[in-house]
Amino acid sequence: MSIVKLNLSTDATPVETQTLLTLVVPVYNEESAIGPFLDATATILEQLAPSLRCEILFINDGSRDGTEFAIRSFMHNNPAIRLVNLSRNFGKEAALCAGLEHARGAAVIPVDVDLQDDVSIIPDMVDKWRQGARIVNARRSDRTSDSWAKRTSARAFYRAFNALSDYPMPSDVGDFRLLDRQVVDVLRSMGERVRLNKALFSWVGFKTEEVTFARNARSRGKTTMNYWRLWGMALDGIIGSTTKPLRIWTYLGTGLGLLSFLYAACIFVSTLLFGVDVPGYASLVLLILTFGGLNLFAIGILGEYIGRILTEVRERPMFVVRSTYGAED
């Protein structure tokens, strides 16, 4: 691995007058990706000097390989790096929350270490922030590096979420975005423990601008986000952002109740006019199975909300910090 050192200050601009930018980088078993990421960001961040100094805050989400030691090996020659080790793997959303909690910058940019997020657009994001934007989204204009299944599932999720949520998310925008300190402070004050951060970024409001980039192929390693975990995140986002799934069942239950009443009236009239029709076994079974399945599905929706209520009332922390490394102001 090559050693990368960022210039935190210059003679022309004293450190105390510089604005601090924090890159929040959650990592899990990314030992081989640390060096390439620092190489790629070094030149970009030096372009922002001298008016802006930068820190790179790694959140080690319970990695089981040599990720922690790889990061610490670069810290000896790079005072811009800070490291927060979580006590176990809490998941990316919790790791990102830990990053927002520990970030000190006037602006904060969450970014993945695999370089699929194009760090070369960071100066453009900073320019829009300096022009008054409080959130600068990085929209993926080209996702051909992703598999067909991932692109299709992502489109389906955004459509479903935006159809249900009261506060839609911009499509093809991940966690990679610039957040002003005011936005970060609002996010830190929010008490949700089961959350999809992308949904909260949209909920908080504030003036928002956008830059676009083509999504790159992963530089090192392999993703740990399988479809089951992505499904869980999507469900957390929808359940945590809207009560429309419950409301839908109110309307559906009312409609089915009216249909049942009409069907019962038809049976009653038919019995009075034509007598008892014994052969109705098939229709009876069909109705039982249909309403039984709908009831179970509705109970499942209720269970999802109740489970999240239980998580919230326990008030357990989203993450536990094991140790921290790096210079403190």
In the three-class reduction of DSSP (H, G, I as helix; E, B as strand; rest coil), residue 256 is classed as helix
Q: How confident is residue 42, by pLDDT bands cut at 50, 70 and 90?
A: confident
Residue 217 DSSP one-character state = P
Which pLDDT belongs to residue 77?
85
- Looking at residue 146, its pLDDT comes to 62
Between 62 and 164, the higher pLDDT residue: 62
Q: What's the predicted TM-score (pTM) here? A: 0.69
Paired sense of beta strands 321-325 and 81-86, if any:
antiparallel
Higher pLDDT, 277 or 65: 65
The per-residue pLDDT of the chain, averaged, comes to 76
Question: Confidence band (pLDDT; 50, 70, 90) for 288?
Answer: confident
The residues, any chain, with a CB within 8 Å of residue 268's CB and separated by 6 or more, are: none
Instruction: State how beta strands 19-27 and 52-60 pair.
Output: parallel
pLDDT digits (tens, 9 = 90+) for 153-179: 667 766 766 666 667 777 778 888 899
Which pLDDT belongs to residue 320? 82
126: Cβ contacts below 8 Å, ≥ 6 apart: 21, 48, 52, 107, 178
Q: Look at residue 22 in the predicted model and tell me its pLDDT.
A: 93
